[in-house]
Every structure is written in C-alpha cells, then in structure tokens.
Amino acid sequence: MLEEMIGDSNMRMRATDYRRLAIALCLATLMSLSSTVAHASTPPPMCATENLSLGIGQKFSYMTQEQGDIYTLTNRGKVACILYGYPRVSYYDKTKHVLPFTYTQSSSIYMTHNSPKTVLLVVGARAFFFVAGSTCQEGKPIEAVKIRVYLPNAKQPLIGRATAYPDTGGAIYFCEGALNHYQRQLDVSPIRADIHSF
C-alpha cells in the first residue's frame, strides 16, 4: 500500500513537472515570436549619405528648349534604407564657382507635379531624381560641370559630374544676364523609385 502511494505521488510530481516544463516552453516560444515580429516590423533606416553613390541616369527625349539630366542614387550599404522628399542641388562651373540658379520643386512644364513618395532602396538598388530647365535663348551660357546634392535632412553632400551627355541636351547652362528668369531657373523632382514617374 505504501509503495502504491509513493508511486502515485511520483506520478503526480512528474505530471506537474511536465506541465511546468510545457508552460515554460510555451512562454519562451511566445517571447521569441514576439521578438521576431517586433524586429520584422521595424522600418528600415533613412539612407545615410556615406552609403549612397551619385550617378547619371539614361538619356531621355528632351522637350523643345529644355535642358536637364536624370541622376541616380545607388545603395552601396549593407542594409536596405529609405529615401523621401526633394534633394537640394547646386551646380558649379569649371572655375569651381557656384552657379546662381533659382530652384523650384516639381512646378515646371518639364515634369509631373506628383507629391514625394517613400522609396525603399534595397542593397544595390537605385533611386532617381530629375533636374530640368529652359535652355539659354539670351545672355551668356555658362556650363555646369559639377553637381552637389544634399539628401533630405542630410548634412554631408554627394558630389558628381553635372552631365554625361553634353552633346545631346544633357548639359546644364546658367544663362548669365538673361532677362527671362526661367532661363536662370531649374526645377527639381522628388526622389523616385523609377524614371517613369517624372
């Protein structure tokens, strides 16, 4: 009788231990899943300037009396990141002086007037922005040879060539002395995921 009582007691203890173990495993699993979900829902960071490279996109068909270029931003970092908004640009001549353009944001006839959208940039992928304006019809044309680009909320710039297509409409000229202010103005698009949204 005593042996049976001891046996029953051991069985009850083992059953209790199994239940405790099962509860502990369930809690551990739930905590692990919760951590995974929280990690997965964390949005990618904003793209850092040092992880991007500036380039020039493909040629396109220009409108009459239009000058401009498509520029690329390539993610050279190790993780995906996001871009949003309008880049701030400035152009320089061959003497390294800044050309005093005035800049507008998606307000000219040369591009669509769509609002900025968030662009997810996976490693190795490219985003795009477009700069365009009127060609020089009067005044003295001064060619831009360098572009300086500040991403939204960035303090460090990206610097690159102003154009890769100087003989096919891609060159950017500042019209010094032009009375028409449109010839001293450039329009800048928001950063886009593809070139078909300009």
pLDDT in tens, 21-40: 455 544 455 455 444 444 45
Q: Are residues 36 and 56 in the same domain?
A: no
Average pLDDT over residues 76-104: 96
Please check whether residues 66 and 127 belong to one and the same domain: yes
Pair (71, 100) in one structural domain: yes
How far is it, in rounded angstroms, from Cα 56 to Cα 178?
A: 28
What's the domain count of the chain?
2
State the average pLDDT over residues 50-67.
83
Where in the sequence is the domain holding 31, given as residue range(s)?
A: 1-42
74 and 27 share one domain: no
| 92 and 182 part of one domain | yes
Query: Is residue 56 domain-shared with residue 36, that is, in the same domain?
Result: no
Same domain, 1 and 58: no
Residue 105 is given by DSSP the state E
